[in-house]
Amino acid sequence: MLSGFSSPLRADSITVFAASSLTNSALEVYTEFSEKTGIKIKHSFAASSVLARQIINGAPVDVYISANTAWVDELERKGSLEQDSRKVILSNQMALIASEDTDWPPMQGGIIDTNYPLIKVINGKRIAIGDPQHVPVGIYTRQSLQNAGIWDDLREQFVGMPNARAVLALVERGESSFGFVYVSDTRYSSKVHLIGKLPVDSHDPIRYTAGVVSGQKHPDVLLFMEYLVSNSAQAIFRKHGFLPPDPVSGNE
């Protein structure tokens, strides 16, 4: 039994759908949870939008973890999420990455502010982004670039991808010179360079939100939800570059 958590268990496994940017960290969290409780985690990682649609269409899932709150709101509107079950478990920050053969000028404090010559640095090259219509990492990218007044200037250079990891992979292979991903994603490749972080106030707050799917509010599921915000799980997420649910500063 997980220390600090006590509850009668219903089954030997639960199913969790989580945003693709959580892949490495969540797998480590799942493993530790399973070792301490005996509850196996069946999992799927994809764009938050894709997973939400699957849940709306009846996919057998217990817990949903989204990279933004909008898709959690959508599940609630559709009646696909247990009321009052949602909780913010993590936050993150956006970053601009580049392939190995790209040069860029330095910046103050590692933050790409409105004074940074971003259009000049990109210089007409391809930019991988998440689909700005549906994928959270793409939505945050669009908000930030619109806030800087350069979204339309760069529009013809965008290469839309289904999730943050796909953006990272495209830049890693050199098929796109630049890409916008989460800061945590930059931990998983030695073949890309972190140019800088985007200002946290240039887009909506990046809050990873977990919720219990309708009809699945069972003791083992609630135990897992508690574990996601435990010190043990938070330490794992922090190691992978995520920020706590309410960070004091997103520019740390």
The enclosing domain of 185 has a CATH number of 3.40.190.10
Give the 3-state secondary structure of residue 141.
helix
- Do 44 and 108 belong together in one domain? no
159 and 61 part of one domain: no
Pairing of strands 178-182, 94-99: antiparallel
Asked whether residue 170 falls in the same domain as residue 85, the answer is no
88 pLDDT above the threshold of 80: yes
pLDDT score of 196 more than 70? yes
As a whole number of angstroms, the distance between CA 221 and CA 239 comes to 24
Are residues 156 and 63 part of one domain? no
Q: Which of 4-8, 33-37, 115-119, 237-241 has the lowest mean pLDDT?
A: 4-8
The SS3 assignment for 15 reads: strand
Residue type for 121, please?
V
By DSSP bridging, strand 13-19 and strand 40-46 are parallel
Distances (CA, A) of 124 to 37, 119, 145, 155: 52, 8, 16, 10
**Residue 212 and residue 87 share a domain:** yes
Do residue 35 and residue 133 come from a single domain? no
* Domains in the chain, number: 2
Q: Is 250's pLDDT higher than 50?
A: no
**Quick one: pLDDT band at residue 246, thresholds 50, 70, 90?**
confident
Q: Do 118 and 154 have their domain in common?
A: yes
In a domain, 246, yes or no: no
110 inside domain: yes
| Helical residues (DSSP H) of the chain, grouped into ranges | 23-37, 48-56, 70-77, 118-122, 136-147, 151-154, 164-172, 219-228, 231-239
**Domain hosting residue 160, numbered range:** 94-202
Nearest CA among 32, 19, 25 for reference residue 224: 32
Read off the pLDDT of residues 198-229 as tens digits, 9 standing for 90 and up.
999 999 999 999 999 999 999 999 999 999 99
**Is the pTM higher than 0.75?**
yes
Q: Is the pLDDT of residue 114 over 80?
A: yes
